[in-house]
Structure formats: C-alpha cells, structure tokens
Amino acid sequence: MYKCNIIADSLAPSGKRLTTVEICYPRFIHSEILTHRDRARNSASSRAIPWKKMMAAISENPVVPIRWGSEQKGMQTGGEIDNPDEATKIWLEARDNALKSAQKLADLGVHKSLVNRITEPWMWITVIMTATEWKNFFRLRCHPDAEIHFQKIAGMIREELDNNSPKKLEEGQWHLPFIQYDEIVDLATYYPLNKKFYNEKLEILKKISIARCARVSYLTHDGKRDASKDLELFDRLMNGSGFGHLSPHEHVARAESTEVRSGPFIGWTQYRKTVPNECAD
C-alpha cells in the first residue's frame, strides 16, 4: 500500500519549485519522517479513525516488513534471515494478539484514540507533505544505508518529482493543493471581467484547499467533493482551541519573485503567515 501522488506542483518566478505530495507508508517510520523539518505536513490521525474501521484495515491489509534483515551491530540490518516466512507468521500472530487486546479495551468503552495505539506497528499512514527543499531529504533517505521502508517511499517521491513538470505561476498566484481543474477554470472565467468577484472566489478556493489538506483527501468521507463541508471545516480550523489549528494552512502558498523565506519555504509565502496571530507571542 505504498503510495505517492503529486497533488500540486508549482514553479514561482523566484525559480523555486513547490510540490505537494500525498504519500502512504508504514506508521512505524512516521517519527523518522518527522525529523525533516523543512516542509509542511498533515497526516491521517489514528486518534480519529473509528476502531471497527481500523480493525478491518489492519486485518485485511497489515503492514509487513519489506525484508527480514538479520541482527548485527549498528542500525543497518544484515542479510535476510534464513526463514523469512516464519518471521512473517510471527509478525502476523503478534498483530492478531494486538487486535484481541484492543478489542477488549473497546468493549470496556475506551476511546479509539487509545485503543488504536496498540495496533500501530501494523498500520499504514497517509500524509500530505509540501516542500521547496528536497535535495537533502533525498541525499539522506535514498541512500542504501537509510532505513529500508523510508528508503522506499523517498525513492517513490523522487521518481514522481523527476517525472513531473511543475506549473509555472506568476508572482501573486497561489499553489492550491486538491483544487481541481474544473474549479480553476471556473475561477478564471471571472478574471479580468470582474476582479472583485475573482478575488472573492480565489479566497474561497484557498479555504477549500486548506480544508482538503486538513482532511488528507479532497473527498469527504462519503467520497464526494463538497465545498460547503470544506468551508465549514475551514471555519472550525480557524477557531479550534480558541486560536486555530493552522498546520493545514501551511500547504497553500503565494508565488514570489524573490527567494524570500516563509516558514520552511523559499520563494513562496505560506497562507499561514498571512493569518493574524498565527503563532503565540
């Protein structure tokens, strides 16, 4: 279930390319992904997924290690062990035991945010990642010494970027992940005929893009695009905890003509940085 899709790929007049990817990889390497701070990220949270849905996913499609490397000194594994099938069997037996224990907690009425934690080694996680800087990421994680599961998803990202051509934007135009072609065409019909209405429409598309990044999918849970639900989610994000949950606002950005730094991006201004009081004093 490894997956890498480019969601939006844009080139600013500054010459800096901004790319948003949707990736899926084993939950157990997520902490290593988080060590790379020069990017915006949002992920599907196991805290929010109902236990029955999580149990079905882990039962039907569990994470199984790519290779059963043998024990040796250091972080790199040795060659594959002599009986990898037996290792897989034991791994899945551990999954079954974890599912049973998690179900017992669920039966006691324990919240899914705790029940789901027991089964994380067998989970996949979907993540939205946006960055202008990729060279160091690839240098470290596409190297043969990198952890093999991280190495795999990093290689998939590099291949996607190498095979895709970014869309050239003018200064002031916006990188809008999950905004579809028909929505962009609809926006363009108002410019230059009615710039006021165009700007109002553009603001709506920014909000929709942010909400879809927060959901880690541009579809609602019933599989449909619904702008009204996206805007409702945006409002909740702006008011969450009294000050806002603003990490999804980091994926939407304005193209600049100079290599200005905004958050982790170079040559782009993050939408988040346009929000008043976006960071605590």
Tens-digit pLDDT profile for residues 69-109: 999 998 889 899 999 999 999 999 999 999 999 999 999 99
Tell me which of 9-23, 47-61, 188-202 is least confident. 188-202
Percentage of the chain beyond pLDDT 70 is: 95
Number of structural domains the chain divides into: 2
Residue 280 included in any domain? no
Residue 279 included in any domain? no
Greater pLDDT, 190 or 151: 151
* In a shared domain, residues 17 and 120: yes
> Which pLDDT does position 190 carry in this prediction?
62
Residue 242 included in any domain? yes
Band (pLDDT 50/70/90 cuts) for residue 239 is: confident
Q: What is the model's pTM?
A: 0.92
**Of 162, 188, 211, at which residue does a domain stop?**
162
Residue 48 · residue 125 · CB < 8 Å? no
* In a shared domain, residues 18 and 157: yes
Residue 138 included in any domain? yes
3-state helix, strand, coil in the chain (%, to 5): 45, 15, 40
Which residues make beta-bridge pairs with 23?
4, 127
Rounded CA separation 249/237 (Å): 9
Rounded CA separation 268/266 (Å): 6
Greater pLDDT, 40 or 224: 40
Please give the radius of gyration of the chain, using alpha carbons only, rounded to the nearest integer.
21
* In a shared domain, residues 123 and 8: yes
Tell me which of 72-86, 175-189, 197-211 is least confident. 175-189
**Torsion over CA: 199, 225, 278, 241 (sign):** positive
Band (pLDDT 50/70/90 cuts) for residue 61 is: very high
What value does the mean pLDDT take over residues 18-36?
Answer: 96
Residue 281 included in any domain? no
* In a shared domain, residues 252 and 179: yes
> Which pLDDT does position 21 carry in this prediction?
98
Range list of H helices, the chain: 30-33, 51-60, 84-107, 112-115, 135-141, 148-162, 181-188, 195-215, 227-239
**Of 162, 193, 217, at which residue does a domain stop?**
162
* In a shared domain, residues 14 and 116: yes
Residue 158 included in any domain? yes
Residue 25 included in any domain? yes
What value does the mean pLDDT take over residues 218-222?
Answer: 66
Residue 36 included in any domain? yes
* In a shared domain, residues 56 and 134: yes
Position 240 pLDDT exceeds 80: no
Residue type present at position 243? F
Residue type present at position 239? N
**Of 123, 140, 162, at which residue does a domain stop?**
162
* In a shared domain, residues 110 and 145: yes
Which residue's entry shows tokens 């029940």? 115
Domain that holds residue 238: 171-274
